[in-house]
Structure 1
């Protein structure tokens, strides 16, 4: 296995050090290097904290900054951050209005964030939202019910903008709960993941196979099917998403095409073109778009499609200024 690393044991720490150094205007390490936080914390707003295992970069550390997260906690590859990391982030970022923990629905993440919230609750006001945007978890052994996957970025952006605008903790929780029913994601993979510790692919596909319904931890999906042309793949994914989401004709949507780490940008834009054309043929308008590699599964060759039903208020939150290492627009 060839990877740009020194030792698998130091990969995550060295990668985080590089990210913080490259974006020192925006971020810094928190206490004892346990998490990454905004360099300039803003008192008087609800602090947003998220995190998860390494291997999903740029999520979550790439979205720390104005208009999104106040802190992100990173565990080892595909391993949840520990409760003490999360507690340290709560203590350092709470500016007096409480903390909202944004958690992907994976058992390890949910357990450790819940434990941290319980331990910190005597000193801080804390609420938790568990993101569940996956269309179908298939045979996942890592989660109960729908997994939290690429749609987590949409939730973090909208809640981040709302928090920046002064929304309180209760209002943010209400928005988050509502969004869980209006965002759906489906992933497909053409190649498994090579995990640095084991130096093996998590699953192996033949030249004429693809894995449908994959998560972001290298786990297999709900079905292994015959490889097909891009338009056919995209149509199959959208059918599953739209049958679950059921958007009314004429409603504007956010369309997000996400690469898993080993997919060329040209292929992501091709998939976007195909998905947008398919939605248009169904009388569905794409009101906002995002294309790129944002929520990865190390070097998996594959992509996910996220569709979000957003009302005018949420479209305004999406458009609101954001200044992070990865997303940056507005004033």
Structure 2
């Protein structure tokens, strides 16, 4: 059975979306000439500032292009749905973001992205543009702690990109921006649950199968297998299961420590359900002695129309709190 989408054709969906984004947000964004998949912040890049380039496949909006703007990312390279951008738009983004102080690449830890961003970095080296890379690996369900370098980057990108973008905006050196990005990534933890599949614009067919009374803990944002499938539980039970995984990873947290929290929809889960989860998140974190410094609830890193949600917790310290609080002005996110 085919799904229904408001598109013209699957082949044109990404480019027509980008046309719409630029039409809606001309004060924030522009595309590099003759490179429509290279989206740049109008008020982001400037001389002497480290450029922050993010990117990845489409279908996760507002990740990635929604976080391009002053105080956050300077540019985003956009791929096809659930597919890495090729090297050319990545190179175009880096050149647009380069202020002479180097460029940091940040993106989720997926093989296609690693290959294409690494190719772009090599090409930029020929033009004497220094590039460093930090992969996001916040998905605690995707690999055990001893294999943390194999973990995927998911909704925690929002906080990790935010910290790195603030460091860039505050004119940190490339070395310090890279340090901040790695530090932010190491203290950010995400776990999600899927209730129903999504469908790609090209196929209009579900990308995985799940029973009408089932859920899957730990499923990835492209439909990668999770860690446990079973009967659908209540919101409190699901939230507890996700937080048990997250808090078990944090380990060194002490009473009075501050955290940033994101309760994220994977696409079609409504705000009502997210706020039901948020009330349980607050209660659980308070029981653990943790203080919520800031919280986000809504669609921040989606998987097209997938039903489900993820919870992200960033374990703050003084530096990360300052960076998370730093102002930013993007097309789809403001602080």
Range into which the TM-score falls when normalised by the shorter chain:
over 0.9
Partner of 1:37: 40
Look up the match of 1:296.
302
Instruction: Give the alignment partner of residue 320 of structure 2, picking from 307, 310, 314.
Output: 314
Q: CA RMSD in A?
A: 1.5
After TM superposition, the structure 1 = structure 2 runs for residues 228-243 of structure 1, keeping only pairs within 5 Å, are 228-243=233-248
Work out whether 1:64 is the aligned partner of 2:68.
yes
Residue deviations 1:96-119, cap 9 Å, x none? 111100021011111111111112
Once residues 303 and 143 of structure 2 are traced to their aligned partners in structure 1, the CA distance between those partners, rounded to angstroms, is 17
Cα distance in 2, alignment partners of residues 299 and 62 from structure 1: 17
Report the CA distance between 1:181 and its aligned residue. 1.7
- Aligned pair 1:117/2:114, yes or no? no
- Alignment-derived partner of residue 54 in structure 2: 50
Match of residue 190 from structure 1:
195
| TM-score normalised over the length of structure 1 | 0.95
1:275 equivalent in structure 2: 281
Q: Is the 8 A contact 2:143 2:150 kept in 1?
A: no
Tell me if 1:102 matches 2:106. yes
1:153-172 superposed matches below 5 A? 153-172=158-177
Correspondence for 1:254 among 252, 260, 269: 260
State the alpha-carbon separation in 1 of the partners of residues 218 and 191 from structure 2.
6
Deviation at 1:144, TM superposition (A): 6.8
Contact kept, 8 Å, 1:190 with 1:211, in 2: the verdict is yes
Number of residue pairs the alignment of both structures matches: 326
Deviation at 1:61, TM superposition (A): 0.3
Q: TM-score, normalised by structure 2?
A: 0.94
Contact 2:184/2:320 (8 A) holds in 1 = no
Where in structure 2 are there 5+ consecutive unaligned residues? Answer: none
Q: Distance in 2 between matches of 1:24 and 1:104?
A: 27
Following superposition, the deviation at residue 122 of structure 1 comes to 2.5
- Does 198-207 or 274-283 show the bigger shift? 198-207
Per-residue deviation, 1:161 = 0.9
Structure 1 unpaired stretches of 5+: none
- Aligned-residue offset at 1:195: 1.4
Deviation >3 Å, runs of 4+: none
